[in-house]
A and B are shown apart, each in its own frame.
Chain A
Amino acid sequence: MPDGPGLPACLPPQDLTGLDPSWSRLVRVGEVTWHILERPADATPDTAGGGEPQVTVLAVHGNPTWSYLWRRLLQRAPSTWRVIAVDQIGMGYSQRLPGPRRLAQRIDDLGALTEVLDVRGPVVTVAHDWGGPVSLGWALQHREHLLGCVLTNTAVHQPAGARTPELIRLARWSPVRSLLTQKTPVFTRGTTTLSAVRSSRLPADVVAGFQAPYRSAQQRRAVADFVADIPLEDDHPSASTLDAIAEGVQTLDVPVLLAWGADDPVFSDRYLRDLVQRIPHADVHRYERAGHLVTEDAPESIDDIIEWIGHRAAGSPSIDVSVPAISPSAALAVARSDDGIAIAELGEQRTVTWQKLHQRVQDLARGLADLGVRAGDRVSLLIPPGADLVACVYACWSLGAAVVVADRGLGLAGMRRAIRGAAPDHVIAIAPGLAITRDIEIPGLRILAGSAAQSRRRVLKIDATLVEVARTGERRRDEAEVDSVPDDQLALIAFTSGSTGPAKGVVYTRARVAALVDAITQAYAIDPGHDALIAAFAPWAVLGPALGIPSAIPDMDVTDPSTLTMESFTDAADAVGGTIAWTSPTGVRALVDTVADTTRRPRNLRLLMVAGAPTSLDALDAMAQALPDVHIATPYGMTEALPLTQVDLAELQAAGAGPGVLVGRPLEGVQVRIAQLDALGQPATTATDAVDITGEIVVRAPWMKHAYDRRWGIQHRTGSDGWHRTGDVGRLDDLGRLWIEGRLSHVITTPNGPVTPVAAEDAAARVAGTALAACVGVGPRGRQVVAIVLPAGVGGGRKASGRSLDVADVDTTVAVRAAVEQRCGVDIAAVLTMDALPVDIRHRSKIDRSRVARLASAFLAGSAAKESP
């Protein structure tokens, strides 16, 4: 590219959204003038009189943005920090120089600038896109000042086999390059549209802010040069510099945060994987539904970055795992090897003995190891609950690999997103599962649980079948057992139900899973010599082998508990002499509904656990009528910690109506605290064991999650102290029992204080004779009024076509209002009916109150609000 004339540096316009003009200044360094944003540290008692800022944050943008990208960082960082965001030479409002500027030169440029600015430690670098290599180059040259590094959607290396991102490849093709990047603003505009892949586009004023310095072809020339300096070829002049940085980051011993937009078509997950491999100690927060400009698409990422810097600057560990201390006695292994039944699959008419299961696990483990599965790898399992799943889980565990378990309750798209987020190294799946993961980057093995024709194997990109893996293992039976695996190794990544946004991965270490096995053994007084499990809620079958008890899976669609019948339940019980059963509320209803079809009952059953969601007392009562000698109980817990508390039917019946759903007393080893809600429904930062106070439920147990997976910010906000903030609200009563009153995000904030939905919903549903009711707030926070939404079919007054919501008739309204007033002392402004209350896929009982609230709010705003132009 011929050298063009330079352009002098200048100050940005005064009126760019979010940018404080007082931050801008021009700094002359040798022959070059920079434009930088700087927010100096306030003079504090510590820093007064020429003292040092607590931290200096040095932020480097990428291509083709400018320091505008970091405006919120300057705005929100603590005043004791010095925050500097530079415009790279030729970019933003810094001077345009003739000729391209190579990576090495840019690193030197930045070093010269920080010398002039007298930047000294402690320094945290923050960078985006191709600012990443520049800032890392600087960091490696200034280790003595370095406190930490934050990287957002960037790369230091072209991962092997990775295709160059399409946009960059196109932009790098010389004839197209100058046209795309310089002569027209396609590339600069492209970047701002690359963000926000799905939900929101950037506001026009912010787009204008990003584009402000790139209005003319002359202004854009560095954009073209920058693209030209991306070393895609080994002989590129900047290749050696980048290679040195890629090597160098592996020696970084400071804390690193990778804050990543998950939906970036340029710097996709494979670049994140590459960075994680180079910096295994890095904290990761991967923002779902955020694109390339992660700090724009997920504005909370800036808060997370600031929080991370503050936390790490104070020298705190990333995740507090100091509590609770655990030394579980259970092993994550098949506990027996006799020839009794380990697993009975009634639907498959298949039984597996302990001896066979044990051998199968050994074979699979050896086979997987032979094919390259290593301790610490993540293996995604997409196999229906049954003997294959159980064998794969224990095989992975015996290798020291972690299993990633995404269930169909997430929906297909949700499953795909969840698996992609967990970045598995390998996948073992039935054919539909392999199809789901077909477009997900899996660097390791793709193993089919089942058989397939050769052509199909190619389509599904299958490396081996499970049978082949086992056969490989069989041939190596004489080899030594796999080495023992440390307790802090990851064992399990499961997922939240995703009813409030994309599902979050939840990570369990081996120690935590083992503690869960111990807890269940103790809580349910499990005697391996006597007990057997009926896994009518099939995932529990996985724990059977570690518990050392046989499991039976009834002949049912394991993904649809409503297909359970008393007949199939009893068959399963008979197959193993089942004494303990796990099912879901839907399963209970299905059992109750089919009681009359058979006189058979499980003879040995002593305990029926109903888990997953609140269950109606009527259904439990009917169950008790059919199974009079069985102890019926419901636990409370969540993906992050299960089980936490437990209550039995007798106590539920004795308790009557209370402030919510009674879930009982904490199990041995569980601590429950309440963080009181303020008038705006915000929980206090500290939680107490005070009774009769409504607040967020905060828990701790040896078998709770280790952390959220690659969600540093959420983990930090909800669990930085080693407790888990559940997001549920409720209260403890004076008997030490826990009542659940709803979700924190569903708390209604009225002028008279917060209102929780569950008790009101219960009162409304009872009087209206419906299974469900939604209690939601309408209006601005702190000023809300309360509405009840019932399923259509009751109280339906005027039914207008095409409208999902309607006003309930006056009789229903008056009755519901009176019932709620009496139970909760809350005035109900309106009672509505809705065609179908939105419920979660996994449990079909958790109402999406946020959605109902949005719809009800719009409806109750009146027709004029919607219909007038």
Chain B
Amino acid sequence: MAANVTPANVLVTGATGVVGGATVRALLANGHRVTTLQRRALPDDLAAAGARGIRGDITNADDARRACDGIDVVVHAAARVEVTGPWSDFERVNIEGTATMLHAARDAGANGFVFVSSPSVAHAGEPLVGADADPASPEHARSHYARSKAIAEIAVLAADTADMATVAIRPHLVWGPGDTQLTARIIDRARSGRLVLIGSGAALIDTTYIDNAGTALAAAVDRVYDEQVHGRAFVVSNGQPRTVAEMLTRIAAAADAPGPRAAIPYPLARLAGHVAATAWDRLDRPGDPVITPFVAEQLATAHWFDQRATRDALQWSPCVSVDEGFELLAAHLRRGATI
């Protein structure tokens, strides 16, 4: 995939996250030299694979400057991804943190900046069928997360210049080993018999097996200077839409857990989501509530994309199919691993 690519010095932020980690592995596999920036210690497997870890905070300009020193391309994956919490938290991490990293990269003479974004930056709640990567639209965003990422993505793409090429990659619904957001929650609930379907479970959704998100971002690192890549946003997915019911059932099955047992009508789920999200915020509970209106809508509305533009521009295609992903996830869990 990167046979004719010269090795570069690449900085990956948020490498302790699932997407960041997968990107590090893919970059190392392509022969790049990888530095990481994260608040916690670098996981052993990434260090063992050859990544050089720097501890620090993306919202801290000094940390950012230090990490960007000698770097050719930055992959900015660090973000606040929770679905609840006060706007100020999202603003600080996702908007200001991105601006800090952009500045640091430019000041350090980096010539590429790959921003890990989200399809939700352009998703206004309507079903997406065969959609393109539409422009980010903060005013239509349905959550603090989506709005903050939308604003950050606009800033990143606006920073695309002859000196530093920028691109936004939007992996859609990443799942697989190591994913504590979606995959772990589905398995948790399935194991405790609490996995439910919202609505008919028939909404077709695109998903991205984690390794594919990594290789797509690694491809973006190699292609960020290309005429048809820089300054643009690309949705990345497996390009194999499946029903929500099938995804939930098969992820649960990978953990030997029963699939969804009941269905709650969508309006009820949305209402429950409002109640839960409000209560969660009031109680100031850590983490996420079971359901929010945004999640309810995400799990009850089709969203799948036309992947041709992404694959043509990045000269990339997924290396793991959805079916293979279920097998890999099951194997991972059978080894006794937690997500």
Contact of B202 among A783, A805, A810 (CB under 8 A): A805
Q: Which residue on chain A has the smallest CB distance to residue B130?
A: A783
Q: Does B300 contact A (CB under 8 A)?
A: yes
Q: Does B129 contact A (CB under 8 A)?
A: yes
Question: Which A residues, 390 to 427, have Cβ-Cβ distances below 8 Å to chain B?
Answer: none
Q: Does A478 contact B (CB under 8 A)?
A: no
Contact A830 B246 (CB under 8 A): yes
Alpha-carbon gap, A865 to B266, bound state (A):
10
Q: Does B230 contact A (CB under 8 A)?
A: no
**How many whole Å from B181's CB to the nearest CB in chain A?**
21
Q: Does B150 contact A (CB under 8 A)?
A: no
Q: Which residue on chain B has the smallest CB distance to residue A830?
A: B243
Contact A863 B250 (CB under 8 A): no
Q: Does B198 contact A (CB under 8 A)?
A: yes
Alpha-carbon gap, A806 to B197, bound state (A):
13
Contacting residues, chain A, for B245 (C-beta < 8 A): 797-798, 807
Question: Which A residues, 195 to 213, have Cβ-Cβ distances below 8 Å to chain B?
Answer: none
Known: A779-B130, A830-B246. A861 touches B253 (CB 8 A): no
Contact of B129 among A778, A800, A814, A868 (CB under 8 A): A778
Alpha-carbon gap, A381 to B243, bound state (A):
51
Contact A862 B267 (CB under 8 A): no
Q: CB-CB contacts of B117-155 with A at 8 A, as 1s and 0s?
A: 000000001110110000000000000000000000000
Q: Does A3 contact B (CB under 8 A)?
A: no
Contact B307 A807 (CB under 8 A): no
**How many whole Å from A821's CB to the nearest CB in chain B?**
9
Contact A780 B130 (CB under 8 A): yes
Alpha-carbon gap, A507 to B129, bound state (A):
43
Q: Does A813 contact B (CB under 8 A)?
A: yes
Contact of A864 among B241, B246, B297, B304 (CB under 8 A): B297
Known: A751-B306, A867-B266, A868-B266. A862 touches B240 (CB 8 A): no
Contact A813 B246 (CB under 8 A): yes
Q: Which residue on chain A has the smallest CB distance to residue B244?
A: A862
Q: Does A115 contact B (CB under 8 A)?
A: no
Contact A778 B204 (CB under 8 A): yes
Q: Which residue on chain B has the smallest CB distance to residue A809?
A: B249
Contact B125 A780 (CB under 8 A): no
Alpha-carbon gap, A782 to B308, bound state (A):
11
Contact of B259 among A780, A810, A857 (CB under 8 A): A810
Contacting residues, chain A, for B127 (C-beta < 8 A): 861-862, 864-865
Contacting residues, chain A, for B243 (C-beta < 8 A): 807, 829-830, 860
Q: Which residue on chain A has the smallest CB distance to residue B245?
A: A807
Q: Does B161 contact A (CB under 8 A)?
A: no
Known: A779-B129, A861-B301. A829 touches B306 (CB 8 A): no
Q: Does A540 contact B (CB under 8 A)?
A: no
Question: Which A residues, 795 to 826, have Cβ-Cβ distances below 8 Å to chain B?
Answer: 797-798, 800, 803, 805-807, 810, 813-814
**How many whole Å from A648's CB to the nearest CB in chain B?**
40
Contact B203 A864 (CB under 8 A): yes
Contacting residues, chain B, for A860 (C-beta < 8 A): 202-204, 243, 302
Chain B: number of interface residues, binned into ranges: 35 or more
Known: A807-B246, A832-B202. A862 touches B130 (CB 8 A): no
Interface centre among A751, A783, A861, A862 (most CB of B within 10 A): A862
Question: Which B residues, 170 to 203, have Cβ-Cβ distances below 8 Å to chain A?
Answer: 197-203
Contacting residues, chain A, for B246 (C-beta < 8 A): 807, 810, 813, 830
Known: A830-B204, A832-B202, A863-B203. A783 touches B306 (CB 8 A): yes
Contact A861 B308 (CB under 8 A): no
Q: Which residue on chain B has the smallest CB distance to residue A751?
A: B308
Q: Does A785 contact B (CB under 8 A)?
A: yes
Q: Does A153 contact B (CB under 8 A)?
A: no
Chain A: number of interface residues, binned into ranges: 20 to 34
Q: Does A95 contact B (CB under 8 A)?
A: no
Q: Does A784 contact B (CB under 8 A)?
A: yes
Contact A784 B300 (CB under 8 A): no
Question: Which B residues, 301 to 327, have Cβ-Cβ distances below 8 Å to chain A?
Answer: 301-302, 304, 306-308, 323
**How many whole Å from A522's CB to the nearest CB in chain B?**
50
Alpha-carbon gap, A859 to B243, bound state (A):
10
Q: CB-CB contacts of A772-788 with B at 8 A, as 1s and 0s?
A: 00000011101111000
Q: Does B274 contact A (CB under 8 A)?
A: no
Contacting residues, chain B, for A797 (C-beta < 8 A): 245
Contact B202 A827 (CB under 8 A): no
Contacting residues, chain B, for A806 (C-beta < 8 A): 200, 202
**How many whole Å from B142's CB to the nearest CB in chain A?**
11
Contacting residues, chain B, for A867 (C-beta < 8 A): 199, 265-267, 300
**How many whole Å from B90's CB to the nearest CB in chain A?**
24
Contact of B242 among A829, A857, A863 (CB under 8 A): A829
Contact B267 A784 (CB under 8 A): no
Contact A810 B130 (CB under 8 A): no
Contact B200 A807 (CB under 8 A): yes
Contact of A785 among B201, B204, B267, B270 (CB under 8 A): B204
**How many whole Å from B296's CB to the nearest CB in chain A?**
8
Contact A800 B263 (CB under 8 A): yes
Q: CB-CB contacts of B230-257 with A at 8 A, as 1s and 0s?
A: 0000000001111111100110010000
Alpha-carbon gap, A857 to B241, bound state (A):
13
Interface centre among B246, B253, B306 (most CB of A within 10 A): B246
Contacting residues, chain B, for A857 (C-beta < 8 A): 129
Contact A862 B300 (CB under 8 A): yes
Alpha-carbon gap, A800 to B260, bound state (A):
14
Q: Which residue on chain B has the smallest CB distance to residue A777?
A: B130
Contact B204 A865 (CB under 8 A): no
Question: Which B residues, 75 to 117, have Cβ-Cβ distances below 8 Å to chain A?
Answer: none
Contact B308 A859 (CB under 8 A): no
Contact B304 A862 (CB under 8 A): no
Interface centre among A783, A784, A805 (most CB of B within 10 A): A783
Question: Which A residues, 835 to 869, have Cβ-Cβ distances below 8 Å to chain B?
Answer: 857, 859-865, 867-868
Contact of A865 among B296, B302, B304, B306 (CB under 8 A): B302
Q: CB-CB contacts of B199-237 with A at 8 A, as 1s and 0s?
A: 111111000000000000000000000000000000000
**How many whole Å from B91's CB to the nearest CB in chain A?**
28
A-B contact list, 11 entries, CB within 8 Å: A751-B308, A780-B130, A785-B241, A798-B197, A829-B243, A860-B243, A860-B302, A863-B203, A864-B270, A868-B266, A868-B270
A-contacting residues of B (Cβ < 8 Å)? 125-127, 129-130, 197-204, 239-246, 249-250, 253, 259, 263, 265-267, 270, 296-297, 300-302, 304, 306-308, 323
B-contacting residues of A (Cβ < 8 Å)? 751, 778-780, 782-785, 797-798, 800, 803, 805-807, 810, 813-814, 827, 829-830, 832, 857, 859-865, 867-868
Q: Which 10 A-B residue pairs are closest in the complex by CB-CB distance?
A: A863-B199, A862-B203, A783-B130, A863-B266, A779-B130, A864-B301, A861-B127, A864-B300, A862-B301, A779-B129
18 new A-B contacts, CB < 8 A, other than A778-B204, A779-B129, A865-B302, are A751-B239, A779-B304, A783-B129, A784-B130, A798-B201, A800-B263, A807-B201, A810-B253, A830-B242, A859-B202, A862-B200, A863-B200, A863-B265, A864-B270, A865-B127, A867-B266, A867-B300, A868-B270
